[in-house]
Amino acid sequence: MAMPEMQTNTETKKQPSPQTAWIGGIAFTFLIALLGYLLAMVPGFDRVGQLACAIIIAVFYRQIFGYPEAIRPGIAFASKRLLRAAIILYGLKLSIDTVLSDGLGLLVRDAGVIVFAILATVWLAKVFKADKSISLLLGVGTGVCGAAAIAAVAPIVKSKDEDTAIGVGIIALMGTIFAIAYTILRPVLPLDAIEYGIWSGSSLHEVAHVALAGAPAGDEGLAIALLAKLGRVFLLVPLCFIFIAIMKRKNKTNEAEDAKIEFPWFLVGFIIVSILGSYVLGESIPVSDGVMDGVFTLTTWLLTAAMVGLGLNVSLKDLRTRALRPLAAMTITSLALSVIVYFIV
């Protein structure tokens, strides 16, 4: 009669404490983030970047070893809380004064880019009968600022963690391909440095992609490219509030839908940090470049660890069956966006 009790006690001992599961899960995501960082230093993978490399490793870990259930709480914390912290800190990269003083014209173009990218991707998704959730996230990522935009919008539209991870992975991969293509085309295009910079900043996906593609245009071309991109980042906040309004209206008209839209307080943090970075830090409060670089590095690592948490939820079977059509819709939209912006520059 004692044997069952002994087995139960043994099984209980095997279960880690809540604190261990929490710390272990976070540590595990940072470990894979480190592996992604190291992989991104390998020639070829350096074009893909730390974020995408970490997601790739996380996805393949899940397929080979399964989901590490014992440390689920820490992984969940990384994929949600650390993600919000990274988005808040991302606000330091936004210079509100620069956007408002020098980029109002670009801001109007950026708004058009965002509207086109989202509507075109969603429309093509309907034509291709693609997954609606992934396609919407890809449209947002294409129009605004890649992974950060997807991460900000996903909880508002109640996307699954798996859909978010798939969207981020596709954006990182396709954005890298497009950025490399831009650098190859740069010498043969009849665009001066400023025009090329505007084209790059207004049509590419991530800030890192814009920096990669804009570098061959020199300092002035790269500066205007980043300015155009900052305008799209700036519009992330009003876009999120538009989605909040849409989701609230949808829930009101659907009596069967009882879920409430949680207010994205991290966007308030994003705005506050953007204001601090634009008007306080460096002016009223002196901050060295080294400190700011350290914060930017921390932001990258937090975002990478969060993406690892999301990547661990990805099933390659679902990826094959659900992601190919959204990928096709997003690719066509990106190509069309590049062509349209090229001719209006």
Residue 10 lies in a domain: no
How many whole angstroms from its chain centre is CA 292? 21
Dihedral, 189, 191, 195, 196 alpha carbons, nearest 10:
30
Tokens describing residue 255: 């009596």
- Residue 124 inside a domain? The answer is yes
pTM beyond 0.85: the answer is no
Residues of the chain scoring pLDDT < 70:
1-15, 47-48, 98-99, 102-103, 252-264, 267, 282-284, 314-319
Note the pLDDT of residue 261. 54
Residue 344 buriedness (CB in 10 A; 0-12 / 13-18 / 19+): exposed
Is residue 13, in this structure, part of any structural domain at all? no
Supply angle C-alpha 161, 162, 165, rounded to 5: 85
Look at the alpha carbons of 88, 89, 93, 98 in this order and tell me if their dihedral is positive or negative.
positive
Query: For residues 139 and 122, is the Cβ–Cβ distance under 8 A?
Result: yes
Residue 35 lies in a domain: yes
Domains identified in the chain, total number: 1
| 109 falls within a domain | yes
User: In the beta sheet, which residues pair with residue 207?
Assistant: none
From 101, 110, 90, select the one nearest 277 (Cα to Cα). 90
Separation between Cα atoms, residue 183 and residue 171, nearest integer Å: 18
Whether 31 is in a domain gets the answer yes
Counting Cβ atoms within 10 Å, is residue 75 exposed (0-12), middle (13-18) or buried (19+)? Answer: buried
In a domain, 4, yes or no: no
Q: Residue 235: what residue type?
A: L
Query: For 328, how many CA atoms within 13 A lie in the half-sphere containing its CB?
Result: 14
- In three-state secondary structure terms, 281 is strand
Q: Considering the domain boundaries, does residue 247 fall inside one?
A: yes
Domain hosting 109: range is: 20-344
175 and 211 in contact (C-beta within 8 Å)? no
Single out the residue of 188, 114, 204 nearest to residue 122, CA to CA: 114
